[in-house]
Structure 1
Amino acid sequence: MDNAAKKRRVPHSEEVIKRCLDAISNGTPIKTACRLHGIPRSTIKFRLSKHYKHQPRPGPAPALNQADELELVAWIKKMARKGYPVTKYRIMNRVTLYLEEHPERNRFQKGKPSYQWFRRFLNRYRSELSVRKPESVTKASANVTESDIRKWFKEVLGILREEKVADILSDPRRILNGDEACFYLDPMINKVIARKGERNVYKVDQGPAKKNITVMFTCSADGVVFPPMIVLPYKKIPMEVTKSVPAEWGLGKTDNGWMNKECFLKYIKHILHPQLVKANLLPVIYFVDGHSSHTPWETAEE
């Protein structure tokens, strides 16, 4: 989102949402109407979907307005459907970060949501949300059955059809996969005892090294590799290091060199997205794993 759009953003009141919906009903494209009124597309898409039901909610007046809560509900449901269900703590943290960006809307006594608020929030949306114990999915590929894989592909296809972008699957250039490679600065590999004559001896890493260099890669299904992003363990990146990195690559920094949501968002906005625009490939489907750095609210909004 550009700076001009951010300046136009106004509180998500019912009046503003109604004006945005009226504009769409009069023929304005959803993306354009949302940008002009400062409303996230996820909010408007939810309002236009069959899942939105306008009805009074039980309990005292909520600390967040209805539009903000509906946006939060839509995000929770979308994350769960995509295989990344959010916890109570992540929801409360999301609300806290949101209110830090919009302090004028903060009506919580201590400035952040309490457990009581969370219970009341679930109660208001008990017809749509519930606390569940997720099914544990092992990382061992041997435990993934053919039916699991077919079910996953069916769910992905269903989501794409709902978003009216299922045609992406017919173009391998628009099917992307992103992942990181870590290069440990101090792996501390000790000698081990193995069978004599064994050519390949492996040791499962028991925990992450304190510091490493992370490289974020993205590839398309037709074999194209997009410019990567390097995350370095620096407080301030030395100038000679910056000059040594190709101009089209991304460069980030964290205390330990691990990817975080700020670096991932920077990669999406300033490295990957401009490349996709340049190649005229949007929209795309982008597969990443469920690490918290890959699934922040801010990335979905961008």
Structure 2
Amino acid sequence: MPITRAVIQLKALEIVKELNIPPTEFKSSFGWCRRMMRRNGLSLRRRTSLAQRLPSDFREKLLSYQRYVIKLRKKHSYPLDQMGNADQTPVFFDMPTSVTVHKKGNKSVIVRSTGNENSRVTLMLACLADGTKFPPYLILKRKTVP
């Protein structure tokens, strides 16, 4: 499982409680965590991945599309409450963080997960041009046909 600074700070507070150290004597602060990591040769490491790049003419295509929509709206007098936009995005059951605390100098960082990083539902978000937002619509996968 990924280890974050917040997890380290919470674990330190648990240990302090087990050792019966008064809370006034030890505070698991951000500065304490940073110094402890430095003393023990730990650093924040980022999981690497490839990102999709936008096309070089993305800005021109976007402006062209906006002009096209505005021209259609003026031509046909579409009211704003009749124009909408919707998009779907996956929501994964196991979304391991991309940052973990690990020894300095290691070339690879392995992050364990529950094995459900490919299990997901689909969330659809929609709104109208007049600012109306629709409730989120959740789409669940089903193996058998009802």
Output the TM-score relative to the length of structure 2. 0.39
More helix by share: 1
More strand by share: 2
Quick check: which has more Rg, 1 or 2?
Answer: 2
Output the TM-score relative to the length of structure 1. 0.21
